[in-house]
């Protein structure tokens, strides 16, 4: 094989491997922006209607573009998430789907984030701050406005278990954690 053909073949291999990298086996953040949402409005926001099972403990999404509204709290159960009003539901999501997430910190005195990781973590798992992929740690709310982050996240193109959780120390063990099935 002459040098010119080797270069062409090398180029083709590089192109294939970079297209494989475009659909990695982990969550990928595509876009993010910060905004403020009024506390009154935040409670009324809704995402894509899932198929709701087991009294809201499990949400199944059939589409590949999924809108989630994730709130922290409420105040009597602050170390938890509410997704469309349900506490830490199991999310069944198609592989390769795109998540459009509005995450709002409804807490009046603590920072929180929501991060996505492959694998089945438990409450006892120790993760460092900002582990995985997802939001920044959002500050607590002001007088009438809450801090929100709007994210577009690519779901891995691979079936398996994943986890969403808050990486502020002690928060996932306290209840800010939920499971995802990538189908």
Binding site for Cu ion (CB under 5 A): 112, 166, 168, 171, 176
Contact 170, 125 (CB under 8 A): no
Question: CA 91, 61, 81: angle at the middle one, nearest 5?
Answer: 35
Contact 153, 182 (CB under 8 A): no
d(CA 40, CA 34): 18
State the minimum distance, in angstroms, from the CB of residue 168 to Cu ion. Answer: 4
* Nearer residue to Cu ion within complex by CB, 37 or 114: 114
State the minimum distance, in angstroms, from the CB of residue 112 to Cu ion. Answer: 3
State the minimum distance, in angstroms, from the CB of residue 148 to Cu ion. Answer: 15
* Nearer residue to Cu ion within complex by CB, 62 or 168: 168
For residue 138, the cross-strand partners are 112
* Nearer residue to Cu ion within complex by CB, 93 or 177: 177
For residue 70, the cross-strand partners are 83, 103
State the minimum distance, in angstroms, from the CB of residue 149 to Cu ion. Answer: 13
* Nearer residue to Cu ion within complex by CB, 37 or 176: 176
């Amino acid at each position: 094989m002459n040098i010119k053909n080797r270069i062409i073949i090398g180029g083709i291999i590089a192109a294939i491997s970079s297209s494989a990298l475009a659909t990695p086996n982990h969550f990928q953040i595509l876009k993010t922006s910060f905004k403020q949402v009024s506390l009154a409005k935040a409670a009324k926001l809704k995402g894509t209607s899932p198929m709701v099972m087991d009294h809201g403990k499990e949400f199944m999404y059939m589409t590949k573009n999924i809108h989630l509204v994730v709130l922290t709290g409420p105040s009597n159960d602050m170390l938890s998430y509410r997704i469309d009003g349900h506490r830490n539901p199991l999310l069944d999501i198609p592989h390769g789907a795109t998540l459009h997430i509005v995450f709002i910190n409804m807490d009046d005195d603590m920072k929180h984030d929501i991060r996505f990781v492959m694998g089945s973590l438990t409450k006892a798992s120790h993760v460092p701050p900002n582990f995985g992929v997802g939001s920044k740690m959002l500050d607590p709310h002001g007088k009438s406005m809450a801090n929100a982050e709007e994210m577009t996240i690519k779901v891995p193109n691979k079936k398996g278990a994943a986890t969403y959780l808050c990486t502020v120390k002690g928060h996932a063990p306290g209840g800010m954690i939920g499971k995802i099935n990538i189908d």
